[in-house]
Amino acid sequence: MNFELSPEVTAMCAAVTGFAQRDLGGPETFEPIDFRRRWELAGKQGILGATVPARYGGSGLDAVAAVALMAALGSGCPDTGFAFSAAAHLFACLMPIAEFGTEEQRAHWLPRLSSGELVAAHAITEAEAGSDIFNMSMRAVRQDDHYVLNGTKVFTTNAPVADVFLVQAVTSPGSGFFGVTAFLVEAATPGLRVGPPYQKIGLRGSPTAEVHFADCRVPVDGVLGGEGAGASVFTGSMKWERTCLFGIYLGAMRRVLDSTLAYAGERVQFGSPIGEFQAVSHRLVDMLARLESAELLLHKAAAELSHGGNCEVSAGLAKIAVSEAAVQIGLDAIQLRGALGVTAGDAETLLRDALPARIFSGTNEIQKNNVARALGLGRKRPR
């Protein structure tokens, strides 16, 4: 496999890392004014529309280049939550519009979403419909030239700052895959209300909240991909998100591994740097092996996506490998720092930010189910 990047993409990645180190620092919390400031800067840098076609204001990167760009962002940005918000905006919202939207929808939304003028959020998860996504209770009923939406979405990334929501609702109960429809809903639409931001263990710089819909009227031209195409829209968004978003964690792991190597060379105990102790050096080698293995799997999935292949197996395996590696590398980095590891710093931050990665975009257990089914091992559901 050849994952060599073009000189242009290599230069772009170097620029993004430098930009993130310089302009995307700050407290690991969500503050609306500062979030918008950094968001506009990220848009000007080309991050928010990286994979959007150039004619709609993006850079038109393929998935391999996008993974490299996200890794550059994760390496330079100490606030992984902010980087996560940017990636969720791009892969879970803009790419579905680019792939399923009408020409009018693409022209209306994509340039402003790519530039950083606007923020998007994908509202799909419900209290009783997480992994069991077709158990959604939210309904959309056609009334003349509008749909009326009623229900509540939870754990919606970017909800507190979103200007537009990509919303999934049931339009034909009992129809399974073809009973769900996707809608583009402006945040100012009457009947749409966003709850307060959650307090989370990790990804604190990414604002997340519930979104409530009460007789929220959406014009017919707000349907994305046609009635009944919501599941296809969701599958398309996850194809991008499960592959490219996790590049952020490659960069974050690399950053923490580098700082841990530096610490092991500087910290002296019993007259020697601790990196000379076999127990320490072996743990560092294990950290590198996990990172390199996860990186190869993610690039393989990205290469398949770039070439139009069915990357369900490779993306699922990569998602599992990257998220589990990030958790373990966070634990190892804390352990090697001793008492210093449990104080505020990049090691404990990586661990907290990595824990949600085993859950979002489909839990790791669901990924194993998907891979098993692709291998012909899944349990057949009764008709």
pTM (two decimals): 0.95
pLDDT at 311: 83
Give me the pLDDT at residue 133, please: 78
Report the alpha-carbon distance of residue 175 to residue 134 in Å, rounded. Answer: 10
pLDDT of residue 43: 98
Q: What is the pLDDT of residue 380?
A: 56
- The torsion angle over the Cα atoms of residues 35, 40, 46 and 51, rounded to 10 degrees, is 60
Query: pLDDT at position 132, please?
Result: 81
pLDDT at 383: 39
Do residues 336 and 348 lie in contact, with contact meaning Cβ atoms separated by under 8 Å? Answer: no
pLDDT at 177: 84
Q: Give the mean pLDDT per block of 10 residues along the chain (383 residues).
A: 83 97 84 95 98 97 97 97 98 98 98 98 93 89 98 98 98 92 98 97 97 98 97 94 97 98 97 98 98 97 91 94 98 97 95 97 94 82 43
pLDDT at 379: 63
Q: What is the pLDDT of residue 46?
A: 97
What is the reported pLDDT for 382? 41
Give the DSSP H/E element, type plus range, for residue 374.
helix 364-374
Q: Please state, in angstroms and as integers, the Cα–Cα distance from residue 45 to each residue in 38, 64, 69, 78, following that order.
A: 10, 19, 11, 17
Token output for 251: 């960069």
Active site residues: 241
Which pLDDT belongs to residue 378?
Answer: 65
Question: For residues 324 and 318, what is the distance between their CA atoms, to the nearest angstrom?
Answer: 10
